[in-house]
Amino acid sequence: FGIEFDPVAQKPKRVSLQFLSKRLKTIGRDFIIMSFLISILNEYGYEYFDTRLPADSLEHSLADLFAWQHLLNNFFVAVLLSFSLSQSSIGVSLIYNLLYRYETYEIVLNPMFKSTSPSEFWGRRWNTLVHAGLKNGVYKPARTYTSSKTAAVLAAFAVSGIIHEFVNYVMFATNNNRGSGTYVFSWKQMAFFGWNGVLIAIEHCVGHWTVFRRMGRTLPRIAITALVLCAALPLAHLFTGDWIRHGYFDAVYLAEPILVCRNIDAVG
């Protein structure tokens, strides 16, 4: 999370009852969604639909990548991860709000259901705190040095891929959840974030075309969001597959209220 500043006074904002009420409603929403979704997905190993290959595989063919079962599995896990990050970051920030009495801003802003472009998804909705660090630490220096917006975008996503490779190694190198085996460094994060860097570069090149502007004005927002997600979902398993295999979501499962359905006759 980050500290919210008053733009006029240039000082951190003090918390109010209205602010705390809004945060509690948001984290309550996240708990409900997480509880429902993880209760279902855990029973299926976080791959609800059967596919030819497991999510952490690198052997997907083009047909596998665009199979509807694969796309929906990736979507459900991405939604799960999105709300998990939102829930945990708001939970930690609430402790800060109560202890220090300063407002904080949300860093995950419902990217899976409200994004209208790849740049909005990564720049203004998915983990905006990391985005700010990459923008100031990589994008701006790279653009100054190269005078190229495209090169700066690709550099920022390349560094993001390296960071996520390191994070995965730290989390999973010594983990053997459910006999998952040793974590193998395989450049999956570099491939995933590299592809998303390419998507944003393409957006910068063709986003102003009349056909895309017309689509933005005429299509329902949810349809635009679906198109944005479909550009990245075929490769989303590169990001989340190892998180499934090496037990990240199993650990999250232990911290969530779980819905359990039982057959009363069978129990009796």
Please name which of 154, 142, 144 lies closest in space to residue 202, comparing C-alpha atoms: 154
Rg of the chain over Cα atoms, rounded to whole angstroms, equals 20
Whole-prediction pTM value? 0.91
Q: Is the pLDDT of residue 264 over 60?
A: no
Q: pLDDT of 154-179, one tens digit each?
A: 999 999 999 999 999 888 887 655 55
- Tokens 């309550």 appear where? 28
What is the pLDDT, as a whole number, of residue 265?
A: 53
| Torsion from C-alpha of 21, 26, 28, 29, nearest 10 degrees | 140
Find out whether 203 and 118 touch, Cβ atoms under 8 Å. Answer: yes
Find out whether 72 and 23 touch, Cβ atoms under 8 Å. Answer: no
Average pLDDT value for the chain: 92
Q: Is the pLDDT of residue 267 over 50?
A: no
Q: pLDDT of 14-62, one tens digit each?
A: 999 999 999 999 999 999 999 999 999 999 999 999 999 999 999 999 9
Partners of 11 in beta bridges: 6
Find out whether 192 and 235 touch, Cβ atoms under 8 Å. Answer: yes
Partners of 2 in beta bridges: 105
